[in-house]
Amino acid sequence: MVPPDRMLAFTVAAFVLIVVPGPSVLFVLSRALAYGRRAALLTVAGGATGSFLLAATVAAGVGALIQTSTIAYTVLKLAGAAYLVYLGIRAIRHRRQLRAAFEGQVSPLSGRRTWWEGFVVSITNPKSAAFFAAVLPQFVDPSAGHPSLQMLVLGAIFATIALASDSVWGAVAGAVRSWFARSTRRLDLMGGAAGLTMIGLGLGLALTGRKD
């Protein structure tokens, strides 16, 4: 098991990293504004699952490959960027469906689909994979045995903190969303803004290079 002192140190480091708004938080906010609090929380749940799976992958040794292989890193980065841009374009094309949704003309996104999109965005984030590959091993105590299990525990801590923090962001944005719902023009603008946000995140991810 992870020694208590190392577990505490990792928890502090993970908390600082997570609470600062980044791509994942912005994605959750865009989903909250576009589809409401429930969609945001499902997106958060999918993202937390993806984060834990990334940690498990690191524990299995694949994370080290992503950290050292430029090709693997680039492929994963472009896949995640392309998916974000796709979601953004779709949100812009269907921005008027927000108005219809408030008027009861169309059904909102299904829970499974919303969860899946959050999962895909999280698991295709190369920065998270690199973070886990670089940081998790530093908090593992080889003398305690079972290093893979220790990394899984640390990954679960990270995912739990992310789940709590991103849920707060999503809930706040979901509450503000009601103000936009009072105007059909606001709804159209909200859908377009959410789409542009996701496209911007995707392009930013695609243009982010490795320091090595």
2 and 144 Cβ atoms separated by less than 8 Å = yes
For tokens 């969303």, name the residue.
177
- pLDDT of res. 170: 82
131 and 125 Cβ atoms separated by less than 8 Å = no
Which sequence spans correspond to the domains of the chain?
A: 25-207
The more confidently predicted of residues 15 and 129 is 15
- pLDDT of res. 61: 74
Average pLDDT for 206-211: 62
**Nearest-CA neighbor of 98 among 191, 160, 205?**
191
- pLDDT of res. 158: 86
pLDDT tens-digit profile of 146-192?
Answer: 777 888 888 889 889 888 988 888 887 777 666 666 666 666 676 67
- Residue 97 banded pLDDT, cuts 50, 70, 90: low
- pLDDT of res. 187: 61
Cβ count near 128 (within 10 Å): 25
User: What are the residues whose beta carbons fall under 8 Å from the beta carbon of 194, sequence distance 6 or more?
Assistant: 30, 31, 33, 34, 88, 91
Structure tokens at 113: 């689909």
Average pLDDT for 64-73: 67
- pLDDT of res. 203: 83
Indicate yes or no: pTM above 0.85: no
- pLDDT of res. 165: 85
Backbone phi, psi, residue 114, to 5° = -65, -45
Count CA atoms within 13 Å of residue 60 on its CB side.
Answer: 8
pLDDT tens-digit profile of 112-147?
Answer: 888 998 898 888 776 677 667 767 776 777 677 777
- pLDDT of res. 45: 92
The more confidently predicted of residues 3 and 49 is 49
User: What are the residues whose beta carbons fall under 8 Å from the beta carbon of 144, sequence distance 6 or more?
Assistant: 1, 2, 3, 150
Q: Is the dihedral of CA 208, 152, 14, 47 positive or negative?
A: positive
